[in-house]
Amino acid sequence: MAGYDPEKDKVLKKWQNEETGLIVSINQYGEGEPKVQIGPRILKKKDGTDRAPAKAGRLSMEDLMWLYDIIDELKDELTEHVNPLD
């Protein structure tokens, strides 16, 4: 069995919270089932450029409220990529 192949790892849709840097995405590996990923978190340096990605860690109330705001769009987008007959 072959190992991980980055060519097969696809980001189908991505959202980023501009305030907290939290990223939520729909990802699919090869022909596998699309899944939601929470994280990483991209924080800003003082000069405004992006820092290296960090683990999402614990979610703040701001993160949670943002997730609540996008959850219907996230669900609809995931539904488009998942075969409902499975």
pLDDT in tens, the chain (86 residues): 578 999 999 999 999 999 999 999 999 999 999 999 999 999 988 998 889 999 999 999 999 999 999 999 999 999 999 876 55
Distance (Å, rounded) from C-alpha 29 to C-alpha 12?
Answer: 10
Distance (Å, rounded) from C-alpha 36 to C-alpha 75?
Answer: 9
Distance (Å, rounded) from C-alpha 37 to C-alpha 47?
Answer: 28
What is the pTM (predicted TM-score) of this model?
Answer: 0.85
Domain ranges of the chain: 6-81
Please write the tens of the pLDDT for every residue from 27-47. 999 999 999 999 999 998 899
